[in-house]
Amino acid sequence: MCADKRTYRVGVIPGDGIGPEIIREAVRVLDRAAEKFGFKLDYIYLYLGGSSIDRFGVPLTDETVEQAKQCDAVLMGSIGGDPVTSPWYRLEPSLRPEAGLLSIRKALGLFANLRFSKLYDDLIDSCPLKESIAREGIDFVILRELTGGLYFGEHKTETVDGEEVATDVLSYSDHEIRRIAVKAFDTASLRGRKLTLVDKANVLDSSRLWRKVVQDVAKDYPEVSVDYMYVDNASMQLVRKPSRFDVILTENMFGDILSDEASMVTGSIGLQPSASLAEGSFGLYEPSHGSAPDIAGKDLANPLATILSAAMMLRYSLGEEEAACAIEQAVETVLKRYRTQDLATDDTEIGKVGCTRMGELVAETL
């Protein structure tokens, strides 16, 4: 935070594809919230991903990392492009857009990813599940470990006995598991006081360590009930009975897969915000969806996941709870009458709007 206790420095990464469009609307809503609730936001715009490649030749620069570290939080649009047509994907993997995203997570110590999945009452018709399941309620959060596991282990391909053999190493330490377990239990304490650890402890040593550490941390949270579920069963239960979940804690790859599945049970990934948190209050906030280059610049993108990510930023990093709640309520109110194309129905009473108008409506409702 800056010298003025109600002034915050926010890094803004517009990103690629639809990123600049959805970021523009999130900033519009943040400015309205700041005006209404009496705080100030100082923005610094940063480059990451494809936009950084175009400008600097690499997906992440040391300057971007250092500038981000000087911020109270970072709000990001989507990163990446079309893997078939974009020249970015003719570069070696370490120079592609997504490599910058992995690197900034590591550089900023962003070890815990939070993705909230909530089905709004007015969007039950958008849920792909049976109405009877949807009406039981869907409101849970996935905490995914973000800087360990397979994605950050050793990777190699070698020739053994005349054939290619690929190896990816999955490893976790007690410390890596414990710090995100504490965040998960803290989150559960503020919600429904129920935590589900998703693993594959019947097969993997790493999962058995996860269970051991979580059982130990649970001793400090007697008010939170804990259960354990294999990842294959969890993927089934997310569509069979999603109402059974409150807080899901899991490792990096399992969380990557399950969070995308979870996004669709709420009707659209365009409504799913995301936060990647470091120790302390710093976090990077972004929508869960991709850069959708096919609709970039056409005013068709849904900015609500980014706007809701901005609300999470106000809550978790800036401590502006009242403003965060107001944005979330404004989104829910707007959805009663307006939808972007990904949420549009045949209901004649529901207006179909573009990205810009949706952002304006949320800001006006505030």
Which of 309, 327, 251 has the alpha carbon at shortest distance from 15? Answer: 309
* Cβ atoms of residues 366 and 327 within 8 Å: yes
Q: 141 burial class (0-12, 13-18, 19+ CB within 10 angstroms)?
A: buried
For residues 55 and 6, what is the distance between their CA atoms, to the nearest angstrom?
34
Q: Which of 174, 205, 227, 232 is catalytic?
A: 232
Q: Which of 139, 256, 299, 338 is catalytic?
A: 256
Q: What is the DSSP letter of 281?
A: S
The reply to whether 232 belongs to the active site is yes
Q: Which of 89, 151, 230, 338 is catalytic?
A: 151
* Cβ atoms of residues 122 and 135 within 8 Å: no
Cα-Cα-Cα-Cα dihedral sign, residues 56, 60, 62, 65? positive
The reply to whether 228 belongs to the active site is no
β-pair partners for 145? 112
For residues 212 and 189, what is the distance between their CA atoms, to the nearest angstrom?
20
The reply to whether 316 belongs to the active site is no
Residue with tokens 């971007």: 64
For residues 243 and 144, what is the distance between their CA atoms, to the nearest angstrom?
19
The reply to whether 43 belongs to the active site is no
The CA angle 59-20-66, to the nearest 5 degrees, is 40
Q: Which of 122, 260, 299, 338 is catalytic?
A: 260
Q: Which of 200, 228, 230, 299 is catalytic?
A: 200
38, 356, 363 from 360: Cα distances, Å: 20, 6, 5
The reply to whether 200 belongs to the active site is yes
Q: What is the DSSP letter of 5?
A: T
Residues forming the active site: 151, 200, 232, 256, 260
